[in-house]
Structure 1
């Protein structure tokens, strides 16, 4: 590997029949992107070439067979399979899911071995990727099982960050999953991430209520009064600036979220629905709480537009820049906390 001071970004290419490869190629059409990082795509040049031809995109790539062959001035494609793979743009096939899993597994392996500095994941299909080796509801759970730490899914823009207390679980299971221990764990993870990953010294965190109107004093559910409020009060006693619970409708409708550095929603759609309504196409999915950095765009496989050359790369590009910034912030934080200034 040629010596480079640039951050090495490992990129899993996602579902081969979706828009993942398209937004990757469009992101690196601007040659200046290589001034910011060294990119390594985990897949096969044959698959990339298929998309280039179908989309009439001329972004050049550099095929390699070992991470040691990475060229910091090119878009590297680490060939992890040699066989021809049937690509059917716009279709969810078992084959495209299998190869998405291969790409992800190889990228994570190299991340764990510190051969790449950060991980950027293109979208997968949560159904067709399932196999004996991948039995997870999404990227976040897979990464938590394979990397150190406890994960917290955070959807973010420059304006706000929303984390999820519960993630990819059925809505019927949410209420029973909201425990004081879980709330404390997610608050701790977000608090630490806001400090080390975003440089916020005293982060303010809002917690949303579970029930409509936060239960209206027990009329519409008891969880907010019995579990969430006491837990927030207990956390406050540790010195953390945590507030709530807030009724989600008024919280977003009145733009109260702008007063906080981070927001914790109690379940998936409570956080993601308003987030995507406010920022779709500009947002980034960041997995906080792990020993390694991972980001992804805020959209899915986009089968309906795959192969039409209309996919917008803005979110993928934002995910790339976020990964680079978090890497720098975390490195600075580590340096400051490991060797604190001593006043004599």
Structure 2
């Protein structure tokens, strides 16, 4: 098989047309070295791409265009025309146009992912309220993809080189968090996280930390009883099949650097997990949807309307999301190959056991 055919096809949805999505895509894909690792396909339109390309005069960005995913240019960026009509783009403005075409792009890209026409998807930021319509009644990309792929559950998994954080609840109001924290929801997220760490990140025996819901992890029932009645029993259930520890008091856990001893952390709600994640990931965080039978990543930020169209957007997180998408595809393939090759599996297991023994010694010291 040629190296061209081995490169995964990676799709890019454009996000809100008036946000920084297409600017990020152009800045990321303008580096032609990326073409050595994947075949990029941008789901948008020639005119929309050209609108933002003109505002980035110092960037040399060329592409092929068309509407046939089975006839892609393997040596250039491809633009798949999800729409042909002229669209008035107004960077920085929140309006119906931005949400409408964000959804058109996402639908085409996500369907191509489901059909196997692309091997991975990197989604540019949407405005969660602006994209709402009769066809999109979700709190974000994650629940939309869960419904499209018809899976029982998925995990919003924030990943970086130095920290990985998953969420039990995602875009839920604080008033509604506690009712969503159940024994079943925690064990379900832990199963997805453990499987993802093994298959998607090559960690044979992951060590997972679980945070408490209440301040000081409930202080043994003094400040709420969810830790005693829900979280601890869920951890006990999960320990039959994985290495899980906790619940930990969230503030002390990160303040004392305990996150460095674990492969991933399960947080109970959005800000509990994302504030420390974004502080520690230093601009290179990636949002990964674990639990799908496909690979989707995105940057860990929003539409940034305040700088849209000004050429100021930092593409670091988007570039990280692109490479993470490629890497996960390769690691998944490597995991599948390892499962079929007993000798390779035995070697990997011996190495993982040695690392685990060292971590256990450090935790006890």
Query: Which interval holds the TM-score relative to the shorter structure?
Result: over 0.9
Distance 2:123 2:117 in 1: 16
Q: Is the 8 A contact 2:211 2:250 kept in 1?
A: yes
What RMSD, in angstroms, separates the aligned Cα atoms of the two structures? 1.6
Contact 1:148 1:291 (8 Å CA) reproduced: no
- From 191, 195, 198, the equivalent of 1:192 is 195
In 2, the alpha carbon distance for the partners of 1:81 and 1:93 equals 18
Q: Deviations over 1:63-120 (max 9, x none)?
A: 1121123101111000111101110001111111010000000001111111100011
Match of 1:330 in 2: 332
Higher mean C-alpha deviation, range 61-70 or range 293-302: 61-70
Q: Aligned residue pairs: how many? A: 341
- What is the deviation of 1:58? 3.1
Is the CA contact (8 Å cut-off) linking 2:17 and 2:102 kept in structure 1? Answer: yes
Uncovered stretches (5+) of structure 2, i.e. residues with no partner: 347-365
Q: Partners of 1:148 and 1:201 in 2: how far apart?
A: 27
* Selected match of 1:73 from 75, 78, 83: 75
TM-score (norm 2): 0.91
Q: Secondary structure at the match of 1:296?
A: strand
Distance in 1 of aligned mates of 2:324 and 2:51: 29
Q: CA deviation at 1:336?
A: 2.5
Say whether residues 1:163 and 2:166 are aligned partners: yes
Alignment partner, residue 7 of structure 1: 8
Q: Secondary structure at the match of 1:52?
A: helix
Alignment correspondent of 2:66: 64
**Displacement after TM superposition at 1:299 (Å):** 1.0
Q: For residue 43 of structure 2, what is the aligned residue in structure 1?
A: 42
Structure 1: stretches of 5+ with no match in the other structure: none
1:159-199, Cα deviation, whole Å (9 max, x unpaired): 11000011111111111111111111000000000000011
- 1:53-132 alignment to 2 at 5 Å? 53-56=54-57, 57-132=59-134
Any conservation in 2 of the 1:44–1:80 contact (CA below 8 Å)? yes
Between stretches 73-82 and 52-61, larger displacement belongs to: 52-61
> Structure 1, residues 208-266: CA drift from partner, whole Å, max 9, x if none?
00000011121111111111112212222x14110000011011111100100010000
Q: Contact 1:55–1:307 (CA<8 Å) still a contact in 2?
A: no
What SS is found at the alignment partner of 1:50?
A: helix
Deviation at 1:277, TM superposition (A): 1.7
Find out whether 1:179 has 2:182 as its counterpart: yes
